[in-house]
Amino acid sequence: MEILQESELARYLFNRYSLKPKNWNFIISLSQVHDSFFDAIISNPDEIWQLKIDSIYKPNPIIMGAKVDNDLSRVEKRFNTTTSFGYRNLETNKIMNFLKNLSMEQNSNSIKESEVNTQLNSLLSSIEPVKPIAGKDYIYGPFLFTEKRLPNFDKTNQKVSEQISSKMKEKLRMRYSSYG
Protein backbone atom coordinates (compact mmCIF):
# COMPACT_ATOMS: atom_id res chain seq x y z
CA MET A 1 0.00 0.00 0.00
CA GLU A 2 1.40 3.35 -1.04
CA ILE A 3 0.74 6.33 1.22
CA LEU A 4 0.81 9.66 -0.58
CA GLN A 5 1.46 12.88 1.29
CA GLU A 6 0.43 16.50 0.95
CA SER A 7 1.37 17.98 -2.46
CA GLU A 8 1.89 14.58 -4.08
CA LEU A 9 -1.55 13.43 -2.91
CA ALA A 10 -3.17 16.73 -3.91
CA ARG A 11 -1.58 16.61 -7.37
CA TYR A 12 -2.70 13.01 -7.94
CA LEU A 13 -6.30 13.65 -6.82
CA PHE A 14 -6.51 16.92 -8.75
CA ASN A 15 -5.30 15.22 -11.94
CA ARG A 16 -7.84 12.42 -11.48
CA TYR A 17 -10.58 14.97 -10.79
CA SER A 18 -9.61 16.98 -13.88
CA LEU A 19 -10.11 13.92 -16.09
CA LYS A 20 -13.64 13.22 -14.80
CA PRO A 21 -15.03 16.02 -12.58
CA LYS A 22 -18.47 14.49 -12.03
CA ASN A 23 -19.66 12.28 -9.16
CA TRP A 24 -16.96 12.95 -6.57
CA ASN A 25 -17.61 12.81 -2.82
CA PHE A 26 -15.54 14.21 0.05
CA ILE A 27 -16.58 12.99 3.48
CA ILE A 28 -14.79 14.03 6.69
CA SER A 29 -15.38 12.31 10.00
CA LEU A 30 -14.05 12.18 13.51
CA SER A 31 -11.27 9.61 13.82
CA GLN A 32 -12.23 5.95 14.01
CA VAL A 33 -9.01 4.94 15.82
CA HIS A 34 -8.77 7.67 18.48
CA ASP A 35 -5.54 9.21 17.21
CA SER A 36 -6.68 12.86 17.30
CA PHE A 37 -6.69 13.13 13.52
CA PHE A 38 -9.71 13.45 11.23
CA ASP A 39 -10.59 10.63 8.84
CA ALA A 40 -11.77 11.34 5.32
CA ILE A 41 -12.93 9.47 2.26
CA ILE A 42 -12.59 10.91 -1.22
CA SER A 43 -14.37 8.87 -3.83
CA ASN A 44 -15.21 9.00 -7.50
CA PRO A 45 -16.80 6.38 -9.77
CA ASP A 46 -13.42 4.65 -10.20
CA GLU A 47 -11.66 4.71 -6.83
CA ILE A 48 -11.77 5.45 -3.12
CA TRP A 49 -9.06 7.14 -1.05
CA GLN A 50 -8.83 6.94 2.72
CA LEU A 51 -7.19 10.02 4.26
CA LYS A 52 -5.95 11.36 7.58
CA ILE A 53 -6.04 15.12 8.21
CA ASP A 54 -4.15 16.55 11.17
CA SER A 55 -6.55 19.47 11.61
CA ILE A 56 -9.55 21.02 9.89
CA TYR A 57 -8.93 24.26 11.78
CA LYS A 58 -5.80 25.50 10.03
CA PRO A 59 -5.32 26.73 6.46
CA ASN A 60 -2.68 24.18 5.42
CA PRO A 61 -3.28 20.90 7.21
CA ILE A 62 -1.05 17.88 6.85
CA ILE A 63 -2.93 15.32 4.78
CA MET A 64 -1.90 11.76 3.95
CA GLY A 65 -3.85 9.02 2.23
CA ALA A 66 -3.93 5.66 0.52
CA LYS A 67 -6.10 4.18 -2.19
CA VAL A 68 -8.37 1.47 -0.77
CA ASP A 69 -10.49 -1.23 -2.33
CA ASN A 70 -14.03 -0.67 -1.12
CA ASP A 71 -17.48 -0.90 -2.61
CA LEU A 72 -18.30 2.63 -3.77
CA SER A 73 -22.04 1.98 -3.77
CA ARG A 74 -21.92 1.50 0.01
CA VAL A 75 -20.31 4.93 0.41
CA GLU A 76 -23.10 6.55 -1.57
CA LYS A 77 -25.89 4.63 0.21
CA ARG A 78 -24.49 5.29 3.68
CA PHE A 79 -24.34 9.06 3.36
CA ASN A 80 -26.81 9.71 0.53
CA THR A 81 -24.95 12.77 -0.72
CA THR A 82 -27.20 14.61 -3.15
CA THR A 83 -24.65 17.18 -4.31
CA SER A 84 -21.33 15.90 -5.54
CA PHE A 85 -18.04 17.47 -4.55
CA GLY A 86 -16.16 19.60 -7.07
CA TYR A 87 -15.24 22.94 -8.54
CA ARG A 88 -18.20 24.90 -9.86
CA ASN A 89 -18.08 28.04 -11.97
CA LEU A 90 -18.86 31.02 -9.80
CA GLU A 91 -22.03 32.22 -11.46
CA THR A 92 -22.30 35.66 -9.88
CA ASN A 93 -25.95 36.25 -10.79
CA LYS A 94 -27.09 32.97 -9.20
CA ILE A 95 -25.02 33.56 -6.05
CA MET A 96 -26.17 37.18 -5.69
CA ASN A 97 -29.84 36.19 -6.14
CA PHE A 98 -29.43 33.44 -3.55
CA LEU A 99 -27.81 35.82 -1.03
CA LYS A 100 -30.35 38.57 -1.73
CA ASN A 101 -33.30 36.20 -1.20
CA LEU A 102 -31.69 34.73 1.89
CA SER A 103 -31.11 38.17 3.35
CA MET A 104 -34.72 39.23 2.72
CA GLU A 105 -36.08 36.01 4.23
CA GLN A 106 -33.82 36.30 7.28
CA ASN A 107 -34.86 39.91 7.83
CA SER A 108 -38.47 38.84 7.88
CA ASN A 109 -37.62 35.80 10.07
CA SER A 110 -39.44 33.57 7.61
CA ILE A 111 -36.71 31.03 6.92
CA LYS A 112 -35.48 28.05 8.92
CA GLU A 113 -31.93 26.69 8.88
CA SER A 114 -33.06 23.49 7.16
CA GLU A 115 -34.61 25.57 4.37
CA VAL A 116 -31.33 27.46 3.91
CA ASN A 117 -29.49 24.14 3.61
CA THR A 118 -32.03 22.88 1.08
CA GLN A 119 -31.78 26.07 -0.98
CA LEU A 120 -27.97 26.03 -0.90
CA ASN A 121 -27.92 22.37 -1.89
CA SER A 122 -30.30 23.15 -4.74
CA LEU A 123 -28.10 26.03 -5.90
CA LEU A 124 -24.95 23.89 -5.84
CA SER A 125 -26.72 21.02 -7.60
CA SER A 126 -27.76 23.35 -10.41
CA ILE A 127 -24.10 24.16 -11.21
CA GLU A 128 -22.20 21.28 -12.79
CA PRO A 129 -18.71 20.40 -11.47
CA VAL A 130 -15.98 21.39 -13.94
CA LYS A 131 -12.24 21.14 -14.44
CA PRO A 132 -10.86 24.41 -13.05
CA ILE A 133 -8.87 26.73 -15.30
CA ALA A 134 -6.33 29.20 -13.90
CA GLY A 135 -7.61 32.76 -13.69
CA LYS A 136 -11.30 31.92 -13.21
CA ASP A 137 -13.37 31.95 -10.01
CA TYR A 138 -14.93 28.78 -8.57
CA ILE A 139 -16.97 27.50 -5.69
CA TYR A 140 -15.19 24.49 -4.17
CA GLY A 141 -17.10 21.77 -2.31
CA PRO A 142 -19.29 20.70 -0.67
CA PHE A 143 -17.53 18.66 1.99
CA LEU A 144 -19.73 16.41 4.09
CA PHE A 145 -18.68 16.53 7.75
CA THR A 146 -20.18 13.84 9.93
CA GLU A 147 -19.77 12.27 13.33
CA LYS A 148 -20.90 8.93 11.85
CA ARG A 149 -18.38 6.20 11.21
CA LEU A 150 -16.98 6.27 7.72
CA PRO A 151 -18.57 3.71 5.40
CA ASN A 152 -16.95 0.27 5.14
CA PHE A 153 -14.67 0.96 8.08
CA ASP A 154 -13.67 -2.63 8.71
CA LYS A 155 -10.48 -4.31 9.97
CA THR A 156 -8.67 -3.63 6.69
CA ASN A 157 -9.58 0.05 6.82
CA GLN A 158 -8.57 0.18 10.46
CA LYS A 159 -5.13 -1.22 9.53
CA VAL A 160 -4.79 1.36 6.73
CA SER A 161 -5.89 4.08 9.15
CA GLU A 162 -3.29 3.00 11.70
CA GLN A 163 -0.53 2.95 9.06
CA ILE A 164 -1.42 6.43 7.82
CA SER A 165 -1.70 7.64 11.41
CA SER A 166 1.75 6.27 12.20
CA LYS A 167 3.26 8.12 9.21
CA MET A 168 1.38 11.26 10.20
CA LYS A 169 2.77 11.12 13.74
CA GLU A 170 6.28 10.56 12.36
CA LYS A 171 5.94 13.59 10.09
CA LEU A 172 4.63 15.74 12.94
CA ARG A 173 7.56 14.68 15.17
CA MET A 174 9.99 15.68 12.41
CA ARG A 175 8.27 19.02 11.90
CA TYR A 176 7.64 19.82 15.57
CA SER A 177 10.32 18.42 17.86
CA SER A 178 8.12 18.63 20.97
CA TYR A 179 5.28 16.59 19.36
CA GLY A 180 4.49 13.32 21.23
Q: Is residue 131 part of a domain?
A: no
Q: Are residues 62 and 103 in the same domain?
A: no
Instruction: Provide the pLDDT confidence category of residue 76 given band limits of 50, 70 and 90.
Output: low
Q: Are residues 73 and 108 in the same domain?
A: no
**CA-to-CA distance for 72 and 52, rounded, in angstroms?**
19
Count of domains observed in the chain = 2
Q: Are residues 79 and 162 in the same domain?
A: yes
Q: Are residues 58 and 14 in the same domain?
A: yes
pLDDT of residue 106: 74
For the cut 60, the answer to whether the pLDDT of residue 165 exceeds it is yes
Q: Is residue 162 part of a domain?
A: yes
Q: Please state the rounded mean pLDDT for residues 115-144.
A: 88
Tell me the β-bridge partners of 40: 28, 51
Q: Which residues of 18-48 are buried (b: 16+ CB within 10 A; e: fewer)?
A: eeebebbbbbbbeeebebebbbbbbbbeeeb
Helix 113-125 to helix 92-107 angle (10° resolution) is 170
pLDDT of residue 88: 94
pLDDT of residue 20: 96
Q: Are residues 28 and 78 in the same domain?
A: yes
The radius of gyration of the chain's CA atoms, rounded to the nearest angstrom, is 18
DSSP state of 36: S
Q: Are residues 78 and 148 in the same domain?
A: yes
Q: Is residue 55 part of a domain?
A: yes
Q: Is residue 98 part of a domain?
A: yes
Return the C-alpha torsion angle 39, 46, 19, 82, nearest 10: -60
Domain that holds residue 142: 3-87+137-175
Q: Are residues 82 and 102 in the same domain?
A: no
